[in-house]
Amino acid sequence: MEIEFKIFTLNCWGIPVVSKDIKPRMKSIAEHLVSARYDMVCLQEVWTESDYNLIRDKVGAAYPYSHYFYSGVIGSGVCVFSKYVLQDVFFHQWPVNGYIHKFQHGDWFAGKGIAMCRVIVNGYNINVYTSHLLAEYNRTSDEYETHRMLQAYDTAQFIQVTSAAADLVILAGDLNTEPGDLPHRVLMSVTGFTDAYIEAEEEAQQPFYTNDGPHNSYTASSLLKRKYPGKRIDYIMYNCGSNTSVVMKKYCRPLPNRVAGCEYSYSDHEAITATLKVSRSEGSEKKCDLSTRASVLSECIEVCNVALNTLLNHKRVYWFFTVFFFLLLTTTVVMDSLFGKAVLIHVARVVITILLGFTFIMATAWNMIERNALIAGKLAMQVSLKQTVEKKGFEF
């Protein structure tokens, strides 16, 4: 028996205070979901329970099964809505998630990770994964490049381990990586995924983007002035089990540029949807380019080595400032007796103590957490690389 499975994904841009038109946009997104009737919906950046509840209440008849993946301080922002019973749900938080002191970014507070849910459709086991990788805030000088690469590899590992019994495996979400970037290549090579857009590329009649596009109402004016074409960072990727085959039937952006009757878009990202046709295929085997996988893993290991050296330098810098602030704190005792400015001296002591505590934590606990995550990822990559080389039967 063949089945068709239609999946939808969208980064809803629901950041409290920062994002614009949140409530009316969430309502419009929910109305579209009801009218379109997908099999599974994956949403990201639904940051508040009230927004999740708003959507859930409106789509309940069309999608009676839903789940919000709680994590971190403010929640993962990731949720799913399903036409079918959710057999299992699980959330795996990544060991590296940005930095706690980068308040303006906020990724660490979200406790980001990879979410999984399993449904059964006419006897087919379908694993759907959705995620929202660490954002890229500066492409020319990306301080999170290594974190994002480790998140991608961790995601690929998690999918490999949990999808052995699945007939269809789908990853849908905002992966914050462009085609050809290292995290994208990691996901593609380690899992053997097919990028749905690549399968539909011949049918595309216009430049395809999912963020910062020229027709989105929330695209920055500076990008519009220099005619930035947008970027593709939201994906639907898929793979099949050993006894099934999958064909991508349709892939598109289902939402118009503006909400009907309004001057704003549904989000600062574009939604994408894919319809996959799944059938039984006895004895089919997954194809994987082992040479590409070995090359990608070797590049990842080298990135880890560079990051570990950088982390060691950061540790030295933080220790230097820890000693500096400690000595500065001790001098305030002399200053107190010399100048007699008790209030100012106490304020200075508080500030210096806070800075001392911050640099000490960064030089010790935080540095070790990041170092251990890097080493763990590197060692896992080395194991995978060794197995890949042995399967291929060549030296790399």
Residues with a known catalytic role: 269
Q: Look up residue 206 and give its DSSP letter.
A: S
CA–CA separation, 266 and 60 (whole Å) = 20
> In Å, what is the CA distance from 11 to each residue of 44, 235, 248, 272?
4, 11, 22, 10
Give ∠ CA 57-84-195 in degrees, rounded to 5: 100
Give 141's contacts (C-beta < 8 A, 6+ positions apart).
none
Q: What are phi and psi of 248, to 5 degrees?
A: -80, 115
Side chain identity at 270, as an amino acid letter? E
Q: Which 3 state secondary structure label does DSSP give 180? A: coil
Nearest to 217 by CA among 177, 261, 262: 262
Side chain identity at 175, as an amino acid letter? L
Are the CB atoms for 62 and 34 separated by under 8 Å? Answer: yes
CA–CA separation, 44 and 16 (whole Å) = 14
Any bridge partners for residue 169, and if so which?
A: 127, 239
